[in-house]
Every structure is written in C-alpha cells, then in structure tokens.
Amino acid sequence: MEVILQSGHSLPGRLPRACRMLIALTAGAFFLPAVLAQGVNACDLDKNGSVTSSDVALAINMAIGATPCTASIEGPTTCTVITVQRVFLASSGQPCSVYNAHAATLNWTASTTPNVTYNVYRATTAAGPFTTPLNSSPITATTFTDTAVSAGQTYYYVARAVAANGTESDNSGPPVQATIPSP
C-alpha cells in the first residue's frame, strides 16, 4: 500500500490482506456551506460581520476586475459571476457556499470472493474506532471519494468487503493514513 500526495511523492507501506488500497489526495470542485474556522463568513467581503449589499457590490467589482479579487469563494484569487451569485445569496440569508479543494480518493483491488460489495470507514486515530461506514449503503465500485475532510486533519481509512448476507470481512489491513493539506 502507498499513500500518494498531490505533489506526486509516495510513502511506502505494507500491502493489506484482503484489498490493496491507494489513497490519493486530490483537488476537485467540492462546494460546502461554510463559515470559516475562525468564525468569519467567506461572503463577508468587507469584513464588517455581516453579508450585505455592500459585499454584493464588492463581489461585482472583483468579478469585473475593477477591484483586486480577495474573495476565496470559488478558489484563491478567482472572482467571477459565481462569486457574485454566492455573495448575493448569502446576503439574502442563505449559506455561503465556498470551494473546498480537498478530498481523499480511495481505490482498492477487488476481493477474490465473488458478488461482494464494500464499506469504507474513517477514524482520526490509527486505532479507530472504525464503527460507521462513510458510504450510506455498501458500494460495488472499488473506489470511494471522501469529500467531508478538513484541511490539516489526519485521517485513517479501512475498507471491508460485505457478503450478500451482509456479513463484513475484517479490515482491509492496517489503516491507511492520509493527512489533508492546509489550507
């Protein structure tokens, strides 16, 4: 097993018993309702504590290039009509949706047992507990993307094969560690 970071560097590890899992930290277009960790709303462009029509005006000016783009709604230094739309919606009481470029994509080799599905588990320590599957029902694919990750957080993943009768295998092997980059 190996962990491949976005930079392309890899860290060697042991091959698990039932499945070979590859975790890649990838960038993608994931949008989450967000009030940033420090308690500041990303749509509050003038930083006055609330999202108002003045923030909408700032978003418009940033989108047309009249003001430098300082918003981090679509991504760093990207301001388009999407930024304007999200700030406008936030000014009318809806959540501010921001771009989250972090995800952990897990891939593994299929079980040799026919007709199995899989559950994927995550914990914040290597010891677990791995009690609740990330997927809402067993999946047939041998890939899963965890988009509910936080920048700077370390996660540990295991997969389990699920037989037709619902019986789960042991963990795929030792947990695989993934540290999500910051920011």
Residue 25, pLDDT > 70, answer no
| Mean pLDDT score of the chain | 77
The two structure tokens encoding residue 81: 């009509």
The two structure tokens encoding residue 183: 């920011």
Q: What is the pLDDT of residue 13?
A: 32
Q: What is the pLDDT of residue 40?
A: 58
For residue 108, count other CB atoms closer than 10 A to its CB.
25
Separation in Å, CA 83 to CA 31, 42, 89, 164, 170:
12, 10, 10, 46, 46
Distance CA 48, CA 65 (A): 22
pTM over 0.85: no
Reported as a single tens digit per residue, the pLDDT across 42-59 is 888 998 888 999 999 999
Q: What is the pLDDT of residue 159?
A: 95
Higher per-residue confidence, 170 vs 6: 170
Q: What is the pLDDT of residue 33?
A: 38
Distance CA 144, CA 158 (A): 11
- Beta pairing partners, 158: 121
Round the CA-based radius of gyration of the chain to a whole number and report it: 20
The pairing of beta strand 2-4 with beta strand 21-26 = parallel
Q: What is the pLDDT of residue 157?
A: 95
Q: Percentage of the chain with pLDDT > 70?
A: 76
Reported as a single tens digit per residue, the pLDDT across 69-126 is 988 888 767 899 999 999 999 999 988 887 766 778 888 888 999 999 999 999 999 9
Contact 130, 49 (CB under 8 A): no
